[in-house]
Structure 1
Amino acid sequence: MSNPRQISLNIFLYSFGHHEASWRHPSSQPGANYSARHYQGIAQKAEASKIDAVFFADVPAAGVAEYSAGGQLEPITTLASIAAVTEKIGLIATASTTFYEPYNLARLFSTLDHLSGGRAGWNIVTTGHELVGRNFGFEVFPEVSERYARASEFVDTTKLLWDSWEDDAIVFDKENGRYADASKLHEPNFHGKYINVDGLLTTPRPPQGHPVLIQAGASNDGRAFAAKYAEAIFTAHQRIEDAQAFYNDIKAQAVALGRSEDDVKILPGLSPFVAATEAEAQAKARELNELTIPEYGLGLIRSNLAGQDDSWFTVDNLEERVPLELFADAGDVTNNNRSRLQVIAGIVEREQPTLRELLHKLAGGRGHQVVAGTPEQIADRIQVWAENRAADGFNVMPPLYPAGLDDFLDHVVPILQQRGLFRTEYSGSTLRDHFGLKRPENVHTRNSALV
């Protein structure tokens, strides 16, 4: 009998927890979400369980700060503080190609990769929030196709910057006074429609060659971009059949571009409530749901409905069934350009919830699947998805820190290890090692070998 396929597991760092009311839980302490010690403790606990990586998302806008744990720390700086107290766990940060420039972002991720000994990953987003655009001075926010066109040039340029030093460019010849071999230093001189970069990067090539490239968009443009560039994809699916369709689509697109299916990992989000019995797990979920503020959840739905009539979504309608027609054509599976709205529309179509029930459904994972059950039930869900081409692993989103993290690591991970689905020891020290990804060859070394 063949050994089961090993999965990847990341822990998604998020304030007091992924449930929107986690900050109101009796165990949550004011200011913890702005403390390095809070995130360091999460990462150290995850590393002890041999988790692949911690992931820190980012939207540089405060949002509805009145009702939520408003604002968050900047991811790359926070992950650098985690690098100082960990040894092997990967460090993945979100950064937008719409609001950065390639040179400074290449430096930031190269620095994180050097400081951590090769553990950095970049979650590439183009950012669809117009509020963020206003924070950065955009009078007209770019359409999705234009944002991805810029992103393509951005990633091409960033990879050239990381490759601007060949791996053996530093000779450190004290006797002759030569620090680097000039023939192995290459200025990008990239001039495109959106991006212009000339000079050599200030840091030598990162330990991983390139930090791992990750992507989180599920629109049609996002899928095409991911198939070309991504080495892992973070995605949101409620049902296994939807996850399988996405999985097969991405893998097929990657293969059509000359890549292997193994070159890209699909990692859906999973927010687990874990307890000794299913009833106890559901009680944990209810406890947090009862702490939600409806105005906050309504604001999130309205933001996803941008450009459509959102006047029905008020506290006056909390006990009313949500009309599917309010989501217009969001349920059309052939149009993925508003993928998160599709997830919400799918819930409305299948479950016909009241508005309050929909808000509770979204409160735990913002459209990612929320599961309440025993450790065995959670492990079963993970195994079924992994063995049926729905996932290569999961981006785990504990509803509450630290209790929800402890529940998952202490009770679910050991079951996955016993079943041979997850490692009991790290086999390497870099994020590429953990994900089973090849170290990319330097483009200049490759080109010289072809001459």
Structure 2
Amino acid sequence: MSRQRKRIHLAAHFPGVNNTTVWADPRSKSQIDFSSFEHLARTAERGLFDFFFLAEGLRLREHNGRIHDLDVVGRPESMTVLNALAAVTERLGLAATVNTTFNEPYELARRFASLDHLSGGRAAWNVVTSSDAFTGENFRRGGFLDRADRYTRAAEFVAVARGLWDSQGTKGTPDGTPDGLRGGTPGGTPRPFAHTGRHFTLEGEFGLPRSPQGHPVVIQAGDSDEGREFAASTADVIFTRHGSLEAGRAFYADVKRRLARYGRAPEELKIMPGVTLVLGDTAAEAREKAVEIRRQQVSPQTALLTLEQIWGVDLSGYDPDGPLPDIDPDPDAQLAQGRVRHGDPLAVAAKWRALSEEKGLSIRQTVIEATGRQSFIGTPEAVAAEMAEYVAADAADGFILVPHLTPGGLDDFVDRVVPLLQERGAFRTAYTGPTLRDHLGLPYPGERRERD
């Protein structure tokens, strides 16, 4: 495929579950009312996005023994929301984040197959794992899973789910053998299913006929070596967080290289970093807006809480407008419950200190600079050009847009940037197929072929 013809893939992440949402903005609405989900989904479909993405939260986070002050009470269950959205959208993919640690393969395979049927082939599963005993307290198995086992359970979980979906045969094959399934009316003869493995033992028959996609699209988020390998072996889309063109290109090349060992072609895994965007009529206006948004996202309180998650100690006595603490983090301490502590605390602290000293930044300013996602900031023309270049340079296959407003945070992008991407030939002007696999250019189960 030539670089000139490489198309951008776009997805919409629903905001409203963490401090990146700017609740002080008068345009900010409920993160629970169905009208909010419907607004963002309809906007994404109007913009011809590939899919709509919902995160997951299984327990309210705590900090220093208290409910996290900035956490949001009320995160509806993803599959329930997406089944409702299937009735008010026609082509938009519907992606739910569901944990493999606290669910069972048969039940979850059935739920995703149901969504795929109800939506006409638009279901996607963002596979996440947990070794967090704090979250596990909400479940019967509370925290039993060792951290080292989370990906082995996830890999077996996905394999079992796909086996269940395959057990119902494929379109036009009475014996159930793969024939290069395409979208349409499913068929085939069901057959018994049996699996015996380290984490699961199942024997029976799946309760639904083959769904339009055969397998719902599998998404995975993870930047560790283990996560990259899991994505290369299992996922259709990987949700990343790399913040620069150079880091994106390195990640892209590394993950795409890994696909060959699993007999997969590079186009069978789409790499889509989560990004933010700020538009302005001029570059200066966009930069000014971006600075104000980041200040609203990282309040003085948020800055100290973020620092405490790394240092592992109470820093409430420090001035958020003052310098970073002169003490080292406690690598064995953990004030935050329900949050992942990314990386080596001592290494992160050293990196942040170097940044603070180099630029003369306070605690709050350091957190703002160090925790920002890859952002596109500028005029609509500049943002369209930068996005197109990012994809053309093999730093990504597309982007999952994370707006800072609920639910109208994508309105301007769809109205002002999407038409410019289309003029460049970098984005579709119409959906070309009914299913999410069609949108993403992914093969159907048993099928290998080139797509635009």
TM class, shorter-length: 0.7 to 0.9
Runs of 4+ in structure 1 off by over 6 angstroms are: 340-347
**CA 19–411 in structure 1, closer or farther in 2 if over 3 Å, else same:** farther
Q: CA deviation at 1:385?
A: 1.5
1:57 alignment partner in structure 2: 55
- Match 1:311 to one of 303, 310, 313: 313
For residues 115 and 219 of structure 2, the distance between their equivalents in structure 1, rounded to whole angstroms, comes to 16
* Contact preservation (8 Å) 2:323, 2:363: yes
Three-state SS of the structure 2 residue aligned to 1:215 is strand
Structure 2 unaligned spans of 5+: 62-66, 175-186, 332-339, 448-452
More moved, 119-128 vs 317-326: 317-326
CA deviation after TM superposition for structure 1 residue 128, in Å: 4.9
1:302–1:313 CA contact under 8 A, matched in 2: yes
> Which residue does 2:337 correspond to in 1?
none
Is the counterpart of residue 277 in structure 1 residue 282 in structure 2?
A: yes
Q: What's the CA shift for 1:34?
A: 0.7
- Structure 1 residues 68 and 279 mapped into 2: Cα distance closer, same or farther (>3 Å)? farther
Match of 1:294 among 296, 300, 308: 300
CA shift, 1:132, in A, is 1.5
Check 1:183–1:72 CA distance in 2 against 1; reply closer, same or farther (3 A cut).
closer
Q: Is the 8 A contact 2:32 2:74 kept in 1?
A: no
* Aligned twin of 2:352: 348
Whole-Å Cα distance in 1 between the matches of residues 120 and 113 of structure 2?
A: 10
Matches within 5 A, 1:413-428: 413-428=418-433
Q: Is 1:219–2:224 an aligned residue pair?
A: yes
Change in 2 beyond 3 A, CA 1:49/1:434: same
Is structure 2 residue 406 aligned with structure 1 residue 401? Answer: yes
TM-aligned CA deviation for residue 183 of structure 1: 8.9
Give the match for residue 149 of structure 1. Answer: 152
Indicate conservation of the 8 Å contact 1:214/1:230, yes or no: yes
Of 240, 256, 267, the residue aligned with 2:261 is: 256
Residue 389 of structure 2: aligned partner: 384
For 1:178, the equivalent position in structure 2 comes to none
Partner in structure 2 of residue 14 of structure 1 = 15
Give the direction of change, closer, same or farther, for the CA distance of 1:382–1:45 in structure 2 (3 Å limit): same
Q: Is the 8 A contact 1:15 1:33 kept in 2?
A: yes
Alignment check: 8 A CA contact 1:169 1:184 kept: no
**In structure 1, what is the equivalent of residue 336 of structure 2?**
none
Q: Secondary structure at the match of 2:10?
A: strand
Distance (whole Å) between structure 2 residues aligned to residue 321 and residue 421 of structure 1: 44
Shift of 1:20: 2.6
- The number of aligned residues is 415
**Cα root mean square deviation, aligned:** 3.0
Equivalent residue runs for 1:104-253 within 5 Å = 104-168=107-171, 184-253=189-258
User: Does structure 2 conserve the Cα–Cα contact (< 8 Å) formed by 1:61 and 1:71?
Assistant: no
Find the residue that maps to 2:107 and give its secondary structure: helix
SS in 2 for 1:93: strand
Normalising by the residue count of structure 1, what TM-score does the alignment of the two structures yield?
A: 0.83
Residues in 2 aligned to 1:344 and 1:417: alpha-carbon distance in whole angstroms = 40
On the 8 A contact 2:239/2:274 being kept in 1, the answer is yes
Between the aligned partners of 1:47 and 1:436, the Cα distance in structure 2 is 17
Q: Is the contact made by 1:62 and 1:71 (CA closer than 8 Å) also made in structure 2?
A: no
The percent of aligned pairs where both chains have the same amino acid is 37
Partner SS for 2:113: helix
User: Given the superposition, is the C-alpha separation of residues 426 and 183 from structure 1 closer, same or farther in structure 2, using an over 3 Å criterion?
Assistant: closer
Cα deviation code 1:167-218 (max 9, x no counterpart) = 35899xxxxxxxxxx9932222111111122121211111100000110011
Task: Mark the CA change 1:159 to 1:296 in structure 2 (over 3 Å): closer, same or farther.
Answer: same
Instruction: Read off the aligned partner of 1:158 and give its amino acid letter.
Output: A
Q: 2:377 aligns with which of 372, 386, 390?
A: 372
Structure 1 contact 271–370 (Cα < 8 Å) conserved: yes
Contact conserved, 1:21 with 1:68, CA < 8 A, in 2? no
Letter aligned with residue 258 of structure 1: G
Contact 1:19 1:288 in 2 (8 A): no
Task: Check the 8 A contact 1:145/1:221 in 2, yes or no.
Answer: no
Secondary structure in 1 matching 2:409 = helix
For residues 415 and 344 of structure 1, what CA distance do their matches in structure 2 show? 39
Q: CA deviation at 1:398?
A: 1.1
Matches within 5 A, 1:320-339: 320-322=322-324, 326=329
1:48 deviates by 1.1
